[in-house]
Structure 1
Amino acid sequence: MGVQIPLQKIDVPPGQQILLHKVSWEEFEAIVQELNDRPSLRLAYCDGMLEIMTPLPEHEYFKETIGDAIKDMAEALELDYESYGSTTWRQQAKQAGIEADNCFYFQNEAIVRGRIDLDLAQDPPPDLALEIDVTSKSLARFPIYLRLGIPELWCYDTGKLTIYRLQDQQYLEVQHSSIFPQLNIQALPQIIEENRALGRLALRRSIRAWVGKQMV
């Protein structure tokens, strides 16, 4: 009989991850529940492999600022949206689960509006997921997002924001978001950097002003 170590005793240093093998779906579900009171840990699961990681402050900063920018852009353009943060999206039939850095409904917003009981076995997945890639990950994310059917991914890495769209069962890099086709989304990291020292309020005002200028 193997030695079992309670997950509450596992310490994952910031920027690091551990990879567990041969984790059953039932064990994954139990781990999700057990780690509910440790929101700093992030999970990714695919075919019995489970990665548990702790993000760095840099990761969390860009998660928050880009997530806020998405909300500010939507509100400036008067687009209805729902945001579900780092929800653990999972589907047993696909043997896949992941916690995006943030996720949003736009096209399917009316279907999920105000709901807290979403289940990918019967509900549509988020229309947009955000991934912050400031640290290396042991478990590839794209195959998991593909199984869950999330249409659009934004990936931030060292000052660059790349848009991927699900087409013909693969993620292809594209220049324009299907959600904000009129905006140059790739400019967001530069706007964030230019306003980072001015504070969060100034940054959010700058995002809204930038949207207004592009819509003239």
Structure 2
Amino acid sequence: MVTLQLRQLTVPPGHRVILHNINWQEFEAILTELGDHRATRLAYSQGTLEMRMPLPKHEVAKVIIGDLVKILLEELEIDSESFGSTTFKREDMNFGVEPDDSFYIQNHAQMIGKERIDLKVDPPPDLVIEVDVTSKTQLDAYEALQVPELWRYEAGKLQINVFQDDKYVESDISPNFPNLPIIEAIPTFVEQSRTIGRSAALRAFRNWVRDTKNI
């Protein structure tokens, strides 16, 4: 049997490594060894660990969508706490996942000042964002953690998944922003950022929210 150390593994951008038969203690040890300041992203599902290195295309989309959500929250005067790509995990369910971005909205008050999350006592984030470029989002992990709303952005389209009756169903409406056409607006302004630039697109989006919310 050959034993490899994590530092011997290199995951090129846009690629992923899948490790099988990883128990929970090994998953926790890998998280500790890799640390918080890393480019690789992890997803753990009942013994299978996926390590992936995002492409610049993925990172650009992730950042712009997160910025758009923050503008929505600000302009609609909705209080929130942002937890980014925090590792959300539960040993009793054997799942762990790191979203591209995450927000506590309904449960924001109890998350103020939190530096560590224990999903046995803390609620899952109210909204998570995943950008699918080189791999597909693992819905089973988010279903196990019972995340209420999941956005998946892929190939210029936004899919809104709402957790109902222990599974996700697609929705044309975001429960967190029910009065705005989010499913059309987010892809429109992400694409706009590719042509006029990030700052101009964010300003345009802010103006759009201000105009649309009063209709």
Cα displacement string for residues 80-120 of structure 1 (whole angstroms, at most 9, x for unaligned residues): 11111111110000000000011000000011012112210
Give distance in 1, aligned partners of 2:92 and 2:107.
22
Q: Where does residue 105 of structure 1 map in the other structure?
A: 104
Give distance in 2, aligned partners of 1:162 and 1:181.
15
Per the TM alignment, residue 37 of structure 1 is displaced from its structure 2 partner at its CA by 5.3
Q: What SS is found at the alignment partner of 1:11?
A: coil
Aligned: 1:34 with 2:33: yes
Equivalences for residues 33-112 of structure 1 within 5 A: 33-36=32-35, 38-112=37-111
Give distance in 2, aligned partners of 1:211 and 1:39.
34
- % same residue: 46
Q: Where does residue 203 of structure 1 map in the other structure?
A: 201
State the one-letter code of the partner of 1:43.
Answer: L
Per the TM alignment, residue 44 of structure 1 is displaced from its structure 2 partner at its CA by 0.4
Per the TM alignment, residue 190 of structure 1 is displaced from its structure 2 partner at its CA by 1.2
Gaps of 5+ in 1: none
Give distance in 1, aligned partners of 2:180 and 2:188.
14
Q: Where does residue 163 of structure 1 map in the other structure?
A: 160
Aligned: 1:115 with 2:114: yes
Using the TM superposition, name which of 61-70 and 128-137 deviates more.
128-137
Q: What SS is found at the alignment partner of 1:19?
A: strand
Q: Where does residue 212 of structure 1 map in the other structure?
A: 210
Give distance in 1, aligned partners of 2:68 and 2:168.
23
CA change 1:49–1:73 in 2 (3 A) is: same
Gaps of 5+ in 2: none
Give distance in 2, aligned partners of 1:142 and 1:37.
23
Per the TM alignment, residue 206 of structure 1 is displaced from its structure 2 partner at its CA by 1.3
Cα displacement string for residues 152-191 of structure 1 (whole angstroms, at most 9, x for unaligned residues): 0000000001100000011000011111111111121112
Aligned: 1:177 with 2:174: yes
Give distance in 1, aligned partners of 2:151 and 2:193.
21
User: Does structure 1 conserve the Cα–Cα contact (< 8 Å) formed by 2:128 and 2:149?
Assistant: yes
Q: Where does residue 149 of structure 1 map in the other structure?
A: 146
Q: Given the two structures, how large is their TM-score scaled by the length of structure 1?
A: 0.95
Q: Hey, which bits of structure 1, 4+ residues long, moved more than 4 A? A: none
Per the TM alignment, residue 200 of structure 1 is displaced from its structure 2 partner at its CA by 2.2
Give distance in 2, aligned partners of 1:34 and 1:202.
40
Q: Given the two structures, how large is their TM-score scaled by the length of structure 2?
A: 0.96
Q: What SS is found at the alignment partner of 1:209?
A: helix
Q: CA RMSD in A?
A: 1.2
State the one-letter code of the partner of 1:204.
Answer: L
Give distance in 2, aligned partners of 1:116 and 1:146.
24
Give distance in 2, aligned partners of 1:149 and 1:159.
26
Q: What SS is found at the alignment partner of 2:92?
A: helix
State the one-letter code of the partner of 2:122.
Answer: D
Using the TM superposition, name which of 111-120 and 16-25 deviates more.
111-120
Equivalences for residues 12-27 of structure 1 within 5 A: 12-27=11-26
User: Does structure 1 conserve the Cα–Cα contact (< 8 Å) formed by 2:88 and 2:117?
Assistant: no
Tell me the number of residue pairs that the alignment of Structure 1 and Structure 2 aligns: 213
Q: Where does residue 2 of structure 2 map in the other structure?
A: 3
